[in-house]
Every structure is written in structure tokens, then in C-alpha cells.
Amino acid sequence: MARPSGQIRRGQITNVFGPGALIDLPHHAAIVGGLETWNWGGDDRKRKIVEPRLLSKVEEVLGKTGLYMLEPPADNQEPDAPPSGISVYRFPEWFTAQYPMKGPRGQRTRPLVHRRNLITPTKWQGPDRKGYEIVPIRFVQACPNGHISDIDWYLFVHGASAPNTEPCRRDLFVDEWGTSGDLTEVEIRCDCGASKKLILALEDKTVLGWCRGRRPWLGGGNYEQKCQDANGKPTYNRLLNRSASNAWFPQILSVISIPDEDEKLRAAVDKVWEDHLQYVQSIDDLPGERRRAKVASALEGYSNEAVWSTIERKLAGDSGESTKPIKQAEIETLLTSPDQLEKVDIQGDFDARRWQPVQPLSAIWNKIDRVVLVHRLREVVSLIGFTRFEPATNDLNGELEIGVNRAALADEVRWVPAIENRGEGVFISFKIDEIRSWRKRDGVAKRELELAEGFKQWKKQYPKSRASFLGAPYVMLHSLAHLLITQVSLECGYSSSAIRERVYAGDSGYGILLYTGSPDSEGTLGGLVEIGRKIDQHLRNAIEIGRLCSNDPVCAQHSAKQPLEERFLLGAACHGCLLISETSCERFNQYLDRSLVVATVGATGAEFFSDADIALP
């Protein structure tokens, strides 16, 4: 493995820079390599992450068994240690040379050169025999199946060559007519005189030709596979700005580790399963295995009968985990949390206590069912694939749709990358009767219909998507969560980008979990737990924030089905009020509308909180 070209945090692997993602290093543009290229510098440095509930969901979605989860490799800082890290491949292989020229019509122009024509990895030799710096071209081609490759610029400029004729291979140039970088002002020109504006690659889907199924992240630009759409027809390449946000969408599954009766025993067995317990044939073999120090330490306190029962379930392919949807299991655990004690003895990976407010109560408590202070939690996040151009988000229960056409992380997936974050949080649940009676109001029904119409417009753009409209309760709670994140970040000690959300809006209940997540102890400083003890005050402030946006009345009067703006999944929501860091949002800043939370300028009748609800006691 070569000397490291750059560094990223482990947590960025699952949501920003996983396999197939495009990345800019200090001196190169690259694509992150597949799982086969990951190197820990020795098997003893691999760290498995144990979370059976998540692993069972991963296996279900990928349709495979026998998978496991590994933490991404860390850079080994010791000078004599074996190299470790994640390989990347140089991509794209076309560059613009920083050799200033004037085109035949006075336009600014730069030579468009291929990697084969460079004199060094970072230099191109100009007509004056001097070396000039190069910049990777910002446009590549990709398809909705995740394949990606360099654009055949000769084909783009000249079109397909006539039979029995040699294609033109003269010098190419990038001409720019304005200063905005708009595609209508960018032209690719050949020295033979042929030229074509780049905007045509967006207007005509046939210009870039058929997708050849290239997957350079798996090793080399010629790693190809057959590429077809849902109807079995070849797919066309689409123009992609490699630095755009739609170049790589991660498909992740995450769970909050929640306790159950057999969780500790299953975790103990998993620790020594691969090296020892998978070879146990009967309960009589256990005493011999338990003489090993590693096995004895892992299984301390458990009887042979209990251990053998767990082994039998694993051998039979039964993880012992509940088949409940991810979010249903979580909210049921949160809603059954014990009452807060005067002195909290925090133990394990999960500790949640119901907090009882003191008198007098403000009117807003009429909407709240309970508040749970989560003193400690563990979140496990796993990356299972990725898409380009459009995200495949989770459903209401936090689970990915099975059958989504995702791009693979490896040629053959045997394991998936995962990280575990530890933090704290606060959970607010709302009364089911209040939510249901609110939804029956005429104003809410009308607003929900408007948002559903916007969703239908979005579906026309992405007809292959299996997503379904999430409903007014989810949109309301999601919008409230964003307002709360903005509000509590002013006092809790965490930035808004360090606070995450989980929204629950199903038959088991309605609630919001705000929590921090960090691979170390940074997310367990106690700030969110303290916020929970004053949650009525912060709710009132958050609702007041949502009442007026700096972009009103334009923001408040936005219609989700408006075709000109193409913000079909947003109601009254913009960067001035509801949009936050996408790393904090479970929906990529979609399904938001503050008019469902509070009355806004020109939009009343659909709000969940009235003026009386947020009045001071």
C-alpha cells in the first residue's frame, strides 16, 4: 500500500466517503475503493462490532446470511507497523491544464488532456515545453445503477464515427464564455473545428451513449458489468458533476442498542463464536472450551445450559432477535422506561429514565405524554450500499425497502462496515389521542392533501422509487425536531450538527428522540439530559422560532406541488427556518413543513400547537 494521500474520520466512512464515493485529496481527485481494498495491517487489528438486531436487518435487506460487521481500519501511526487504511483510485482521468489560452472567438479556453498525456502525475507539458498544473475535469458520467466512468469526450464532440472511418483524435479544449460556470456557457471543442455545448448532455439523454457498467471503485476503470433498467433495456449515461451532492447517497441502517433478557449472553457468545464456539457439537464440549482463558472470561456467570441454548439458535440460523421493525422496538423500550431516581446509577450501553415534571404545569403539557431522559445510549450505524442521483431513504419504521437497486460495496459482500457511537439524549412522546384528533381537522386534512400532491410530483421525477408518502403526523414531528435542534443547540453545549434525530410516527406511538453520537465520550457531557428537564420551555421557544421565517411570506406560502421550484417534498421550509445539517437529519432535509407545527404567515388552521398551548402558566 502506498503512502497515505489524506485522512478522513471513521465516522465519515458510513455517510460521506464510503466505497464508490468521489473524494478530493490534497493533490488528486479519487474514488474510494471497495471493501476488498481495505487493509487493517493484520487480522489482529480488525474489530468486529456486535449488534445482532442490526445484523439481522442487514442480512434481510441484502438477502445474505453469515455476514458480520467490521469497524473501518484506522491509520497505524507506528513507524515499523504494517500499512493500513483504505485504498482509493485516481478518478477522473481527464484534466484541464492550467495553460491560459484564447479561443478562435476570443473565449477563455483550457486544454482538455488525458492522464496518458501527462509528463508527471500532476503536470502537463505545454507548447512552450514547460510543465503546467492540471485540475481534474468536474464532469463525469454515471447511471442510476451506480456505475460511473469518464465521459468519452471524443464521442461527445463528434458523435459516433461513420463505418470504416478513423475517429478524430486531435486536441480537445474546454471553452468558457462567461464567469458563472453555467453549462450553457461551457463548450467542448476539438482542434478539427467540431464543438458542442455541455448543456446538451442534460437536454439529450442519448448524447453520452450507453452505460457500460463500469465500477472503478472495485479496481480499475474497466471493471464492467451488464447495465440494464427495470425493463431489461440498456441504460443511458447521465451527466454528473463529481462534486455535487447527488453523486453518492449512502444507504445506511442504524439502531439504538436496547436491552433485552438475552442480549448480554448473545453478545458474550458472539465475542468467541468465530474462534471457538462455532465448533462446539454438544453441551458436553463446552467445559473443555471454557478452560480457554478467552472463552472463560467472555462466558463468566453463564451456565452451560444457557450458553448451549444460544449456540443451538445460532447454528439453526436464529439470531434470537425480535422480528419487530427497528423503530417499533425502540419506541416500545423508551415508552416503558422506569421513573427517574434521585441518584442515577448509569450502567451498560442504554440507560433511560422517565422524568416527572414539577408543578405548576404549563398548557403545553396537555400535548405531551412523557419525557424520557436517556443518560446513555449506543447507536450502531452500518453502510450496506449506495445510490447515485436519488437517495433511497428508510420507511417509517427505519428500515430500507427490500429490492432497491443499490450499487454494491464489493464484488462479493461478506461483511459490511459499521461504526458505533455513544451519547446521550432526550425523548419526548406525544399523546396519541391528541395526534389523531388533530389529524381529523379540516385544515390539517387540506394541508396533508397539498403535501401528498407534491409527493406525487416528486414520484413523477423518480418513477422507480418505492417510497410512499409518510403522512402529516410524521411531517409535523420531523419539522418540530428540526426546530428543537436549532433551539436546544443554543444552550446544551453541542452544536446543531452534533445533534441527531429519530422520529417515531407509527401505531406504537408518536415521539422525537434527540441524541448525540460520537465514537468517543464527547457526546456524553450531559447537556441534552439537562435540556429534558426544561423541555416545556424549549418547546415553546422552538415553536415561536417556527412562527416566522426571515424569508416569509415567500417561505410560508410555498406550495409543495409548485413545478417551478421543484421542492416537492417541502412545505413551508427553507434554509432560513427548518433546514439543518444533513448529517443530523434522517430524511436528507425532506418532508418538512412548519405550518403543521404552528400558524405561519398566511397559513393557519393546520397547526398542532395553538397560541393557548404555548402560553406561559
**Residue ranges per domain, the chain?**
94-241, 261-315, 326-401+416-596
Specify whether the CB–CB gap between 305 and 284 falls below 8 A: no
CB atoms within 10 A of CB 312: 13
Strands 415-430, 68-70: pairing is parallel
pLDDT of residue 531: 87
- What whole-number percentage of the chain has pLDDT above 90? 37
pLDDT of res. 576: 92
The contacts of residue 610 (CB under 8 Å, 6+ apart) are 599
- The rounded Cα 167 to chain-centroid distance in angstroms is 43
Give pTM, 2 decimals.
0.81
pLDDT top residue among 3 and 592 = 592
Of 468, 484, 580, the closest CA to residue 532 belongs to 484
Instruction: Identify whether the C-beta of residue 54 lies closer than 8 Å to the C-beta of residue 380.
Output: yes
Cβ neighbour number for residue 55 with a 10 Å cutoff:
23
Cα separation, 251 vs 177, whole angstroms: 39
In one-letter notation, the amino acid at residue 134 is: I
pLDDT of residue 401: 63
Average pLDDT in the 153-175 region? 83
Does the CA dihedral 603-605-609-614 come out positive or negative?
A: positive
Model confidence over 270-314: pLDDT tens digits? 888 887 888 888 888 888 888 888 888 888 877 787 788 788 877
CB atoms within 10 A of CB 494: 22
The pLDDT of residue 238 is: 93
Least Cα distance to 426 among 379, 376, 474, 378 occurs for 376
pLDDT at 228: 80
The answer on pLDDT for 62 being more than 80 is yes
Cell of 341: 431516581
Torsion of CA 191, 195, 197, 198, to 10 degrees: -60
Specify which residues 592 forms β-bridges with: 570
Of the candidates 141, 265, 124, the residue with the CA atom closest to the CA atom of residue 198: 141
pLDDT at 9: 81
Per-residue pLDDT at 1 exceeds 50: no
C-alpha cell at 359: 408543578
Confidence band of 344 (pLDDT split at 50, 70, 90): low
pLDDT tens for each residue of 542-589: 999 999 999 999 999 998 988 888 889 999 999 999 999 888 898 889
* Residue 400, CA distances (Å) to 78, 317, 482, 513 in order: 40, 22, 22, 20
